[in-house]
Homo-oligomer: A and B are copies of this chain.
């Protein structure tokens, strides 16, 4: 029987299988260190569509379809879809879901969306409500830039603390059947806001939320960082990652041995992304291209995957508000055959 451990962590009654996953990426992501691992790459920024927004819709749809194809299942067999993105009113997900015949629950968690969706989908499967559920997320550099920052044509200069919104998508299918990769725990995070107002330094805004959630999971499950092969955040980038390590350091905990960050994994040092990658698609694609594969093969026996989101909007920032951060997490484990 499922239960709540400690203050915040949700323990699955039975491990929930991650039966299939798929990752989609753009040209720049293909040029990065994970370039050869994506299921599909669109070299064309438009993905053959008429607008960047439609391109993102297309990428998210491809991720879900590609994951379903791996199980040779029609889309409606996925039973329930949790999805989200950064576009105003989450239209990338809503339009991607259109025509799928799949019950769809829209999420908003900014860059934490993939983890939020996995947590939700795992609970729905473990609770017995559905046999299968899908979690998906996407982002697109061009849809994000024009919505959050400047028209691309301006060629505006980016600060050294800025992160690069990934053109990428990922999807996972969860199931009650046994699988080599399972979710054993999930944790919905709390909003943490320490007053950061610089939208070009979202890593700093999100690091305290990552610290809050990871600390809770460790405490609730009575585990130490060394009990995990990796504790992966997505996406704090270079600056947020350093802050996270400092926060744990104050507690006398060395996270550096096991910590990784999707924003640091997606791009290489010569790709001029400054502090690293970001966007809902960044952690979704890194999870589906690399992390889940390593759990599947047993290279990793247990990892903590924590998606981090900066929950501001251009309007809230213009109005002088600081940036609330959040981190949702799931524990992924390898199960031998």
Contact B116 A123 (CB under 8 A): no
Report the nearest B residue to A127, measured CB to CB.
Answer: B127
Select the stretch in A35-43, A103-111, A267-275, A289-297 that faces chain B: A103-111
Q: A84-B108, A109-B106 are in contact. Are A79 and B4 (CB under 8 A)?
A: yes
Taking the complex as formed, is A326 at the interface, i.e. its CB lies under 8 A from any CB of chain B? Answer: yes
Q: A4-B131, A106-B108, A324-B95 are in contact. Are A87 and B193 (CB under 8 A)?
A: no
> Measured between alpha carbons, how far is A104 from B8 in the docked complex, in Å?
11
> Measured between alpha carbons, how far is A131 from B84 in the docked complex, in Å?
27
Interface residues of A in 124-160 (CB under 8 A from B): 124, 126-131, 147
Q: How large is the interface on A (under 10, 10 to 19, 20 to 34, 35 or more residues)?
A: 35 or more
Report the nearest B residue to A2, measured CB to CB.
Answer: B128
Contact A311 B3 (CB under 8 A): no
Interface residues of A in 75-124 (CB under 8 A from B): 79-80, 84, 86-91, 93-95, 97-110, 116, 119-120, 123-124
Interface residues of A in 4-25 (CB under 8 A from B): 4, 8, 10, 13
Contact A88 B315 (CB under 8 A): yes
Interface residue from B4, B109, B110, B129 paired with A123 (Cβ < 8 Å): B129
Contact A94 B53 (CB under 8 A): no
Taking the complex as formed, is A335 at the interface, i.e. its CB lies under 8 A from any CB of chain B? Answer: no
> Measured between alpha carbons, how far is A97 from B325 in the docked complex, in Å?
11
> Measured between alpha carbons, how far is A2 from B1 in the docked complex, in Å?
12
Interface residue from B13, B99, B127, B191 paired with A126 (Cβ < 8 Å): B127
Integer count of this chain's copies in the complex: 2
Taking the complex as formed, is A215 at the interface, i.e. its CB lies under 8 A from any CB of chain B? Answer: no
Contact B105 A120 (CB under 8 A): yes
B residues near A10, Cβ cutoff 8 Å: 129-130
Contact A104 B190 (CB under 8 A): yes
B residues near A79, Cβ cutoff 8 Å: 4
Contact A116 B106 (CB under 8 A): yes
Taking the complex as formed, is A299 at the interface, i.e. its CB lies under 8 A from any CB of chain B? Answer: no
B residues near A313, Cβ cutoff 8 Å: 87-89, 91
Contact B91 A89 (CB under 8 A): no
Report the nearest B residue to A124, measured CB to CB.
Answer: B123
- Min CB gap A142→B, angstroms: 12
Which residue of A103, A130, A189, A314 has the most chain B CB atoms within 10 A of its CB atom?
Answer: A103
Can you spell out 24 A-B residue pairs with CB atoms less than 8 angstroms apart? A2-B128, A4-B79, A13-B128, A87-B315, A88-B89, A88-B314, A89-B110, A89-B312, A89-B316, A91-B312, A91-B313, A97-B190, A99-B191, A99-B193, A100-B191, A103-B190, A105-B119, A105-B120, A105-B328, A106-B107, A108-B108, A120-B120, A123-B124, A127-B127
